[in-house]
């Protein structure tokens, strides 16, 4: 065999290696979801969704956990969206080039890489102890809001940057002020990309466990939270708690709770992707 042929064969072999790598990731994901479905799907029924936690696996439910997750979702969104979008708008439209802009930029890049558990430590000291919110829904949501801020800011900046300059210039030419231009032209034009980024960021917040453990979310909460100052648990906390127990019944409960959590997370991602695709299709520029 001559050299050229050996190289051809190597090339083809490598192509198959690439295909195997690509598919292996997806196959692992599939095996893993299938496994959890087999373990947990028959456990999901109305009483599982509407029961309080219990020492007995057959009687335990996830009512406090999913309502907690819902609370956390709403509060985190309410805190993180205005701040994140605001910061993104400032950095893209207002901030002048200079040391401050540079500092902000490097800082956000770094924050995006800080381990989530470190945010938990920050939340524990600042929100739980110094501001005195206790191990409440509010403290947990504030912590998660800080965690996802960098993601929302980066998404907002990219979305705004994609808006053509001509739109802004036309608005200025008609005598609009800077804020009028931003609020009536730039933000509506970039809305779908910003919303996609926000939903993806929130889907991450919903799945977080570590920072909430540090903040003090409880594994056992015998009542449904009514105000943001109540103690709370969330689905990932409940799953963690059940996984750490030896009884088989709790393992099945954990699998069932995972199905509920995954449905929620994948639904959010699905919505985000749908919005992105729809926006790409009717994009005028």
Partner 1 sequence: MLKIKEYIIEKALFMCALITVLTTAGIILILTVEAFSFFRNVSLYDFFTDPQWTPLYSEKHFGILSLLAGTFLTTVIAIMVALPVGMGIAIYLSEYAPRSFRKIIKPLLELLAAVPTVVYGFFALMVVTPFLQNIIPGVSGFNALSAGIVMGVMIIPFISSMSEDALHAVPKSLREAAYGMGSTRLQTVFRVTIPSASSGITASTILAISRAIGETMIVTIAAGQMPGLTLNPLKPVQTITAYIVQVSSGDVQFGSLEHQSIFAAGISLFALTFILNSVSFWIKKKYRIQYE
Map the footprint of partner 1 across residues 220-259, applying CB under 8 A.
236, 239-240, 243-244, 251, 254-255, 258
What contacts 200, CB < 8 A, 6 or more positions away? 151, 155, 268, 269, 272
The least distance separating partner 1 from the CB of residue 87, rounded to whole angstroms, comes to 4
The least distance separating partner 1 from the CB of residue 54, rounded to whole angstroms, comes to 20
Q: 11: which DSSP letter?
A: H
Restricted to residues 110-139, the positions that interact with partner 1 (CB under 8 A) are 110-111, 113-122, 124-126, 129
The answer to whether 181 touches 49, Cβ cutoff 8 Å, is: no
User: Closer to partner 1 at the Cβ: 42 or 226?
Assistant: 42
Size of the site for partner 1 (CB under 8 A): 89
User: Closer to partner 1 at the Cβ: 68 or 236?
Assistant: 236
Restricted to residues 53-112, the positions that interact with partner 1 (CB under 8 A) are 82-84, 86-87, 89-91, 94-95, 103-104, 106-111
Q: Of these, 61, 150, 197, 228, which contacts partner 1 (CB under 8 A)?
A: 150
Is residue 173 a contact residue for partner 1 (CB under 8 A)? no
The least distance separating partner 1 from the CB of residue 89, rounded to whole angstroms, comes to 6
Q: Of these, 209, 221, 233, 253, which contacts partner 1 (CB under 8 A)?
A: 209
Is residue 43 a contact residue for partner 1 (CB under 8 A)? no
Contacts 24+ apart (CB under 8 A), 264-271: 264/69, 264/206, 264/235, 265/203, 265/206, 265/207, 268/199, 268/200, 268/202, 268/203, 268/206, 269/199, 269/200, 269/203, 271/199
**Cα separation, 173 vs 177, whole angstroms:** 10
Structure-token pair, residue 30: 């599939």
User: Closer to partner 1 at the Cβ: 197 or 236?
Assistant: 236
Is residue 203 a contact residue for partner 1 (CB under 8 A)? yes
Which helix (H) or strand (E) segment is 47 a member of? helix 46-50
Degrees (nearest 5) of the Cα angle 146, 147, 148? Answer: 95
Is residue 51 a contact residue for partner 1 (CB under 8 A)? no
Is residue 177 a contact residue for partner 1 (CB under 8 A)? yes
User: Closer to partner 1 at the Cβ: 189 or 252?
Assistant: 252
Q: 174: which DSSP letter?
A: T
């Amino acid at each position: 065999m001559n050299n050229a042929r050996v190289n051809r064969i190597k090339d083809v072999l490598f192509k198959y290696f690439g295909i195997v790598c690509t598919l292996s990731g997806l196959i692992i994901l599939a095996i893993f979801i299938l496994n959890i479905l087999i373990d947990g799907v028959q456990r999901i029924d109305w009483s599982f969704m509407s029961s309080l936690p219990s020492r007995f696996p057959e009687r335990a439910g996830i009512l406090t956990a999913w309502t907690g997750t819902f609370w956390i979702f709403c509060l985190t969104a309410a805190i993180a969206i205005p701040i994140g979008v605001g910061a993104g708008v400032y950095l893209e439209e207002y901030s002048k080039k200079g040391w401050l802009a540079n500092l902000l930029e490097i800082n956000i890049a770094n924050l995006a890489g800080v381990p989530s558990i470190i945010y938990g430590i920050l939340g524990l000291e600042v929100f739980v102890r110094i501001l005195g919110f206790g191990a409440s829904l509010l403290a947990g949501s504030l912590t998660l809001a800080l965690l996802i801020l960098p993601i929302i800011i980066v998404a907002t900046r990219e979305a705004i940057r994609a808006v053509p300059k001509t739109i802004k210039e036309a608005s200025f030419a008609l005598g609009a002020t800077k804020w009028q231009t931003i609020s009536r032209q730039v933000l509506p034009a970039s809305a779908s990309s910003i919303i996609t980024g926000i939903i993806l960021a929130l889907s991450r917040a919903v799945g977080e466990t570590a920072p909430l453990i540090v903040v003090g979310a409880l594994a056992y909460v015998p009542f449904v939270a009514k105000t943001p100052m109540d103690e709370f648990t969330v689905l990932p906390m409940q799953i963690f708690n059940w996984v750490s127990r030896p009884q088989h019944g709790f393992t099945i409960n954990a699998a069932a709770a995972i199905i509920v959590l995954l449905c929620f997370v994948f639904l959010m991602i699905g919505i985000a992707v749908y919005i992105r695709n729809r926006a790409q299709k009717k994009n005028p520029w």
